[in-house]
Amino acid sequence: DGGITQSPKYLFRKEGQNVTLSCEQNLNHDAMYWYRQDPGQGLRLIYYSQIVNDFQKGDIAEGYSVSREKKESFPLTVTSAQKNPTAFYLCASSQSAWLGNQPQHFGDGTRLSIL
Amino acid sequence: GQQVMQIPQYQHVQEGEDFTTYCNSSTTLSNIQWYKQRPGGHPVFLIQLVKSGEVKKQKRLTFQFGEAKKNSSLHITATQTTDVGTYFCARGTGKLIFGQGTTLQVKP
């Protein structure tokens, strides 16, 4: 069954700690995205990747880092520089970021909280 | 700029009543996508509109794209409790910009 898998579902971060959120897809999609969602708000783009070994900053990239070494995987690291990391993090993919009009498929999300 | 504004932010309706959410942009949109997020869930793609004046229907849901391609609406006829959730519009190609969403509550 194709889809996007995010893990873990819940994550707690201690002050000064970096944490990594996993996102894996088996949809054979070229493009992958990371969003942050705060309570009662829309989705804000953190980073996106149009192809393996390439990625671009979104609107709120400060305090985050990503890598795209494999087509299937797009992990997000929340660094200690991100002072307000508590949020719901959503990973998504689409067939291509260059072709217009591609719907995005989302994972179930990771809820990150500060201890 | 490239923001999309959604109104209302919240809507409470009695089951069986209709519901409409609006998505507005100050600039022309090449396309608009609509997503639904159930409470505690993730956004799920509903539909995409591309053509000026386009109207598409999915059962009780009617989606419209304005003639000037600067606004869009989602209308639900005779709401049911299963319609509860937040409805987002999103603009862009590849890199999407989401509206803040309209959260629908339905009283049984």
Residue A69 is encoded by which pair of tokens? Answer: 């070494």
Using a 10 angstrom Cβ sphere, with 0-12 exposed, 13-18 middle and 19 or more buried, the burial of residue A79 is middle
Tell whether omega for the bond before A8 is within 30 degrees of 0, i.e. cis: yes
For residue A93, what is the nearest residue in chain B, using CA coordinates? B94
Using a pLDDT cut of 90, give the percent of chain B over it.
92
Among the partner-chain residues A31, A42, A100, the one whose CB lies closest to the CB of B31 is A100
Instruction: Output the pLDDT for position A100.
Output: 64
Among the partner-chain residues A48, A103, A106, the one whose CB lies closest to the CB of B42 is A106
Using a 10 angstrom Cβ sphere, with 0-12 exposed, 13-18 middle and 19 or more buried, the burial of residue B14 is exposed
Question: Residue A2 above 80 pLDDT?
Answer: no
Cβ distance A106 to B48 less than 8 Å, yes or no, reads no
Q: How far apart are the first and last CA of chain B?
A: 40
B23-45 residue pLDDT tens = 999 999 999 999 999 999 999 99
Give CA–CA dist A63/A19, Å, rounded.
11
Instruction: Output the pLDDT for position A97.
Output: 65
A3-62 residue pLDDT tens = 999 999 999 988 889 999 999 999 999 999 999 999 878 899 999 999 999 999 999 999
Give CA–CA dist A59/A47, Å, rounded.
8
Among the partner-chain residues B41, B42, B88, the one whose CB lies closest to the CB of A42 is B88
Tell whether omega for the bond before B108 is within 30 degrees of 0, i.e. cis: no
CB pairs under 8 A between A and B: 59
Question: Residue B61 above 70 pLDDT?
Answer: yes
Alpha helices in B1-108, H assignment, sequence order: none
Give CA–CA dist B108/B93, Å, rounded.
38
* Minimal CA separation from A90 to chain B, in Å: 8
The residue behind tokens 């990747």 is: A49
